[in-house]
Amino acid sequence: MQKLKQNLLTYRGLNALLVLFTMIGMGFALLFLQKHLGLAPCPLCIFQRIGLMVMGIFALIAAIFAPKKRGIRLFLWLGSILGILWSLGVAARHVWLQHLPPDQVPSCGPGLDYWLDALPMQQVVQQVLSGSGECAAISWRFLGLSIPEQSLIFFSFLLLINLLIAWRIFRPQNAK
């Protein structure tokens, strides 16, 4: 058990853990929420998934190759942390929208597919992040938490793992 704990706390082990949690998060979203419950993701949910996948891709590269050079580790960590910070920020925005009084919820607009076809990417991002009535709707709860609230907790946990990776990168070389 001690050996497993030591391996999980290595640079490679922590990144592998991020990859595992990325797969669990995406599996939950795709298989349970979409396929089993039939819930279609709103644009903010899609943006959260994109950030999670970005984090997972950088963590996968770091876990497979486990580079020795601090600069490469830092680059991979920056990609990972930016992905999870994106997801965390979008989830926080989503939770905020869900807690607005009904008269302040933005009206529903055209879908993400239309925006992608009709607008430049910068405007698509701006439109999605402004939210819509579709994103403010709460379609499922577990333990009293909406999906965005659960996502916010999950992404915060992944952020902590990313911060532990940063500690592994920047700690003094002679420290164990």
pLDDT tens for 139-173 read 888 999 999 999 999 999 999 999 999 998 888 66
Give the pLDDT of residue 128.
65
For residue 15, pLDDT beyond 60? yes
3-state SS class at 173:
coil
Q: Looking at residue 69, which CATH number applies to its domain?
A: 1.20.1550.10
Task: Give the Cα separation of 73 and 51 in Å (integer).
Answer: 19
Whether 176 has a pLDDT exceeding 60, the answer reads no
- Report yes or no on 159 lying in a domain: yes
pTM for this prediction: 0.81
Residue 73 is assigned to a structural domain of this protein: yes
Kindly indicate the confidence band of residue 175, based on its pLDDT and cuts at 50, 70 and 90: very low
Containing structural domain, residue 136 = 2-170
176 occurs within a structural domain: no
Length of the chain (residues): 176
**How many domains does the chain divide into?**
1
Token reading at 117: 């076809």
**Domain assignment present for 175:** no
Q: Is 7 a member of any domain?
A: yes
- In this predicted model, what pLDDT tens digit does every residue of 53-112 receive, in sequence order? 999 999 999 999 988 898 999 999 999 999 999 999 999 988 988 887 777 666 555 566
Spatial distance between the Cα atoms of 135 and 127, rounded to a whole number of angstroms:
12
Parallel, antiparallel, or unpaired for β 145-146 and 141-142?
antiparallel
Distance CA 152, CA 98 (A): 13
Q: Is residue 153 part of a domain?
A: yes
Residue 121 within a domain: yes
Are 14 and 158 in contact by the 8 Å Cβ rule? The answer is no
Q: Which structure tokens are listed for 167?
A: 């500690």
